[in-house]
């Protein structure tokens, strides 16, 4: 009896070992087939894992694309770049392998990229996230003015990823200087970065204003730039903007503070005091539009001649401090796409009031 038991156990172990060997062969064959594929598996998995982690806090636009501001590299020999996110859409261009383009959004099926100043679409399986190309931090492209459809609005998403510790004149002819650009504040609870939120709000606002017939330009369309505050004002000046709106967040050692605030120059400003009446009216309308759309504290208008981008502006200008990153509850709200949309609607309503629409 004992011999039979030993024999059965031996046969079972032999069969189990043989099965494991077949599984290993199957895994090896699958691995070999995959690594010989035209798409690098390790890159695709790394990108997938990265995107999955980012999606935990990502915001989605009205077209169902998760907002992004980074770069992707093409995989494969010939890639179709389409004008719409579907396989029946016209092909704009064909791209070869290892070409790097800027990504502005993505979902499970399609990746939206920026080419020649317009949005196009690549099937997501054929791109992988990559690093920015050399010189990309200095590459911000704005359309030429041309024939404006409606009032020209220049939106400045305040701050940037790269700190520029160089200094510049705080205003025309001034001996006083300030740092060229900073990264801004960081949220006290979730670590939200101001420069990222400023751009997210600006992109949502741009879409809303364009739907209402405004002609809108941004001083930056990505985080990895190097644009001083003086240069940002110059963008609005060059476009002869009807309004220059700067988007920023607020921060305080008093973590209980919440709400929105507007800033403009004082009437006595030596730089552009003649714009006070228009800029104050613009600030008033923007705050009014927000507070009528969203239940939020109105912290009023703060007049200052200590902000470089205000001082260098030769068009009506207002800085909107949308909320406090030092307040945990408000930081969470500021990260919400729904809240961003409501704030953008309020700002747009305020602009309509300002222009008498």
The token pair that represents 338 in the structure block: 């729904």
Does the global pTM surpass 0.95? no
Instruction: Name the DSSP letter for residue 153.
Output: E
Mean pLDDT of 17-28: 38
CATH 2.30.30.40 fits 41-130, yes or no: yes
Could you read off the pLDDT of 80-136 as tens digits, one per residue?
999 999 999 888 888 888 888 888 889 999 999 888 767 899 999 999 998 777 655
Q: Distance (Å, rounded) from C-alpha 260 to C-alpha 298?
A: 6
Tell me how long the chain is.
357
What totals of helices (H) and strands (E) does the chain contain, helices first?
A: 8, 15
To which H or E segment does residue 5 belong? helix 2-35
For the segment 9-27, the average pLDDT, to the nearest whole number, is: 42
Containing 46, the helix (H) or strand (E) segment is helix 41-54
Helix (H) or strand (E) holding 100, with range, is strand 100-106
Residue 119 CA, chain-centre distance (Å), reads: 15
Domain 138-354, CATH class in plain words:
alpha beta
Query: What is the tens place of the pLDDT at every residue in 312-339?
Result: 999 999 999 999 999 999 999 999 999 9
Confirm if 119 and 67 have CB atoms less than 8 A apart.
no
Q: DSSP letter at 127?
A: E
Q: What is the mean pLDDT of residues 249-255?
A: 97
pLDDT reading at 59 higher than 80? no
- Per domain, the residue ranges of the chain are 41-130, 138-354
* Spatial distance between the Cα atoms of 124 and 75, rounded to a whole number of angstroms: 10
Residue 103, token pair as written in the block = 């990504």
Same fold, 41-130 and 138-354: no
* Whether residue 276 has pLDDT greater than 70: yes
Residue 3: CB atoms within 10 A of its CB come to: 7
What strand order describes the sheet that includes 152-157? 215-218, 152-157, 243-250, 317-324, 260-264, 298-303
Rounded Cα distance between 122 and 113, Å, is: 7
């Amino acid at each position: 009896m004992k011999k039979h038991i030993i024999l059965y156990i031996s046969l079972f172990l032999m069969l189990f070992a043989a099965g494991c060997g077949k599984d290993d062969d199957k895994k090896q064959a699958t691995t070999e087939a995959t690594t010989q594929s035209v798409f690098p598996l390790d890159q695709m998995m790394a990108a997938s894992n990265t995107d999955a982690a980012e999606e935990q806090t990502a915001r989605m636009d009205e077209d169902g694309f998760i907002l992004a501001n980074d770069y992707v590299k093409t995989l494969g020999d010939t890639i179709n770049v389409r004008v719409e996110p579907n396989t029946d859409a016209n092909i704009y261009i064909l791209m070869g392998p290892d070409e790097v383009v800027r990504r502005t959004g993505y979902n499970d099926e399609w990746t939206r990229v920026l080419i020649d100043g317009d949005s196009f679409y690549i099937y997501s399986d054929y791109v992988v996230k990559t690093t920015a190309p050399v010189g990309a931090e200095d590459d911000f492209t704005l359309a030429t003015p041309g024939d404006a459809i409606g009032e020209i609005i220049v939106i400045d998403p305040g701050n940037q990823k790269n700190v520029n510790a160089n200094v510049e004149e705080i205003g025309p002819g001034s001996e006083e200087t300030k740092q060229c650009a900073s990264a801004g504040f960081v949220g006290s609870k979730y670590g939200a970065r101001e420069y990222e939120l400023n751009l997210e709000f600006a992109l949502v606002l741009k879409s809303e204003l364009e739907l209402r017939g405004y002609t809108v330009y941004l001083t930056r369309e990505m985080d990895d730039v190097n644009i001083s505050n003086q240069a940002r004002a110059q963008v609005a000046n060059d476009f002869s903007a009807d309004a220059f709106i700067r988007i920023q967040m607020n921060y305080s050692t008093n973590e209980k503070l919440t709400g929105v605030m507007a800033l403009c120059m004082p009437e006595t400003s030596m730089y552009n005091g003649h714009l006070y009446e228009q800029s104050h009216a613009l600030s008033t309308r923007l705050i009014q539009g927000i507070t009528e759309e969203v239940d939020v504290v109105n912290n009023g208008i703060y007049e200052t001649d200590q902000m470089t981008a205000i001082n260098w502006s030769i068009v009506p200008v207002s800085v909107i401090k949308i909320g406090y990153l030092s307040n945990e509850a408000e930081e969470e709200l500021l990260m919400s796409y729904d809240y961003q949309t409501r704030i953008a609607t309020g700002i747009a309503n305020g602009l309509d009031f300002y222009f008498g629409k």
